[in-house]
């Protein structure tokens, strides 16, 4: 694919229903469908924000439960757009939600198709919402996530045997990780959902006290690396225990895997560390060999001068 404009501030979404189709949203406000053999087809364009002037060029697009309907989002809300006839329906609007705060903006949109065919996760600086696209404009659930920094990362685990869906939200600068859980069942075409309060999981920099005691300079190195900004995260469920174990990824390649119960953790250094250590050892060996050769040459010169 080749783009005639910058795609920063936008999104790239692969079609989950078939191969060979990709949705692309750019900061100009255009959303295009790229198809193998047909190229780019513009399916929607917006010259301004959807509902009010948020002074932001951020755009997002993603597929919904229907293969010809997409989500189109900016900082002010989310709309459902049908490719075939281009009608638009409001799924979520910041200014119409209850308890909306001044300056609140949409930050994260995620289709939860792996756990429910109609659910979408939306987050702002203050809240997280579960929306059902069959009931647009009415949040099914709402949490106040109470995170210091806005959540920029999200990972969703499929429902367990108990029917509980687990959602992890993560921030970049403050390294916060919050676990959201909800459960429910479909009855008569509507969702009956229940949810618990958000749970704050262990931050990477707080897990240093659970690691084996190191000598001071190694302790300082580990503390520095654990405090670096996050680049993303994902999580996995333990087979033997129902805990959620998040794996945190930081900007320079470190991975930290603290369990949710705070019972320990480990720091996995970036892959280049071993290569750098090997190179350093090789450099020291080369320097030592050169020094021995110079010393031997000096002794030979002194012997020749004495003779």
Q: Which of 4-13, 90-99, 102-111, 262-271 has the highest mean pLDDT?
A: 102-111
Q: How confident is the model at residue 242 (pLDDT cuts 50, 70, 90)?
A: low
Measured between alpha carbons, how far is 78 from 13 in angstroms, rounded to an integer? 16
Each domain of the chain, given as residue ranges in start order, spans: 203-290
Q: 64-80 pLDDT, tens per residue?
A: 888 888 899 999 999 99
Instruction: Report the pLDDT averaged over residues 274-279.
Output: 41
Lowest mean pLDDT among 56-60, 187-191, 211-215, 237-241: 187-191
Q: Which of the pair, 30 or 14, is modelled with greater confidence?
A: 30
Measured between alpha carbons, how far is 52 from 178 in angstroms, rounded to an integer? 30
Measured between alpha carbons, how far is 17 from 96 in angstroms, rounded to an integer? 32
Residue 13: closest CA among 2, 25, 1? 25
SS3 category, 172:
coil
User: What value does the mean pLDDT of the chain take?
Assistant: 74
Q: How confident is the model at residue 258 (pLDDT cuts 50, 70, 90)?
A: low
Q: 87-134 pLDDT, tens per residue?
A: 788 999 988 877 788 888 999 999 988 888 899 999 999 999 999 999
* DSSP state string for 153-170: EEEEE---TT-EEEEEEE
Instruction: Report the pLDDT averaged over residues 212-217.
Output: 78
Per-residue pLDDT, 297: 55
Per-residue pLDDT, 162: 65
Per-residue pLDDT, 191: 52
- Other Cβ atoms closer than 10 A to 24: 20
Q: 141-187 pLDDT, tens per residue?
A: 888 888 888 888 888 876 666 678 888 898 887 888 888 888 875 54
Q: What percent of the chain has pLDDT over 90?
A: 13
């Amino acid at each position: 694919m080749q783009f005639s404009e910058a795609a920063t501030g936008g999104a790239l979404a692969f079609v989950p229903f078939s191969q060979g189709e990709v949705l692309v949203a750019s900061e100009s406000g255009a959303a295009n469908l790229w198809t193998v053999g047909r190229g780019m087809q513009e399916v929607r364009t917006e010259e301004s924000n959807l509902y009010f002037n948020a002074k932001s060029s951020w755009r997002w697009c993603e597929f919904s439960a229907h293969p010809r309907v997409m989500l189109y989002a900016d900082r002010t809300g989310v709309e459902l757009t049908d490719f075939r006839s281009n009608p638009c329906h409001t799924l979520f609007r910041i200014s119409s939600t209850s308890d909306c705060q001044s300056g609140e903006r949409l930050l994260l949109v995620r289709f939860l198709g792996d756990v429910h065919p109609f659910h979408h996760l939306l987050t702002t600086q203050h809240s997280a919402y579960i929306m059902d696209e069959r009931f647009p404009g009415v949040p099914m659930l709402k949490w106040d996530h109470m995170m210091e920094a806005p959540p920029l990362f999200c990972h969703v685990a499929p429902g367990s045997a108990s029917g509980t869906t687990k959602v992890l939200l993560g921030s970049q600068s403050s390294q916060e990780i919050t676990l959201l859980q909800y459960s429910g069942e479909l009855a008569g075409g509507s969702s009956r959902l229940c949810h618990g309060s958000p749970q704050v999981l262990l931050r990477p920099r707080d897990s240093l006290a659970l690691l084996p005691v190191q000598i001071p300079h190694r302790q300082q190195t580990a503390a520095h690396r654990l405090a670096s900004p996050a680049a993303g995260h994902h999580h996995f469920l333990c087979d033997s225990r129902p805990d959620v174990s998040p794996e945190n990824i930081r900007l320079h390649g470190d991975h930290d895997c603290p369990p949710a119960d705070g019972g320990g953790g480990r720091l996995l250094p970036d892959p280049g560390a071993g290569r750098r250590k090997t190179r350093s050892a090789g450099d020291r060996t080369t320097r030592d060999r050169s020094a021995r050769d110079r010393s031997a040459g000096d002794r030979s010169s002194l012997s020749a001068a004495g003779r």
